[in-house]
Chain A
Amino acid sequence: DTGVSQDPRHKITKRGQNVTFRCDPISEHNRLYWYRQTLGQGPEFLTYFQNEAQLEKSRLLSDRFSAERPKGSFSTLEIQRTEQGDSAMYLCASSLVPIMNTEAFFGQGTRLTVV
């Protein structure tokens, strides 16, 4: 499979627990993005990496959220002390830059439900 893969696809957790999601981008892609999407909204940017460097974090990303991309390959997104408001679809995407008008390819997402 040469697409972006995310694991797990679904996660149900109790409020206050920590969760970690993994994203494996397309192998030659140097840029990796994390987005969050709730019902009826477009994907909201959380953070992105160029190789292993985290270049930008959204103000949406509170200090409970942390993301890493060791060695510039796969990435993890951890949410500590989950809250019900964290329930959403977490989408990962990758792209190859600098190529103008290069599209980002999305994984199928991890659906998080905090109960």
Chain B
Amino acid sequence: RKEVEQDPGPFNVPEGATVAFNCTYSNSASQSFFWYRQDCRKEPKLLMSVYSSGNEDGRFTAQLNRASQYISLLIRDSKLSDSATYLCVVNVAGPLVFGKGTRLSVIA
């Protein structure tokens, strides 16, 4: 079983739609959780950290379920500029471990 698993997509959604991505991780000792965004041929950049209580940043909401070892990202009112690959990232007191990413295309 891979350490961090994500549905690769692609998710093709119209502008204004709400879309949700899920991610599961295998190591119960994982300590920190993140969502990164990666545009085509660019480096990954932090979208948001994921806290146990859940957190929201504008149109983006992240949730963590430690019991199920599950992380989610919800994007509301999708914009064309949200088109990218979203990487689920987990830290176990060492290197960050990345999922393969979920590709999102927002269509006009």
Contact = CB atoms under 8 A, between A and B. Distances in A.
B103 to A, nearest CB: 9
A43 B34 contact: no
Contacts of B72: none
Contact of A55 (B94, B99, B100): B94
Interface string B61-93: 000000000000000000000000001000000
A48 B95 CA distance: 7
Interface string A11-54: 00000000000000000000001010000111111001000000
A108 B53 CA distance: 32
B42 A101 contact: no
Name the interface size band of chain B. Answer: 20 to 34
Q: Which 5 A-B pairs have the closest CB atoms?
A: A42-B98, A106-B43, A103-B46, A42-B100, A45-B95
15 contacts: A35-B98, A40-B8, A42-B98, A43-B87, A45-B95, A45-B97, A48-B94, A91-B43, A93-B96, A100-B31, A101-B34, A103-B34, A104-B46, A105-B46, A109-B43
Interface of B: 4, 8, 31-32, 34, 42-46, 49, 51, 87, 94-101
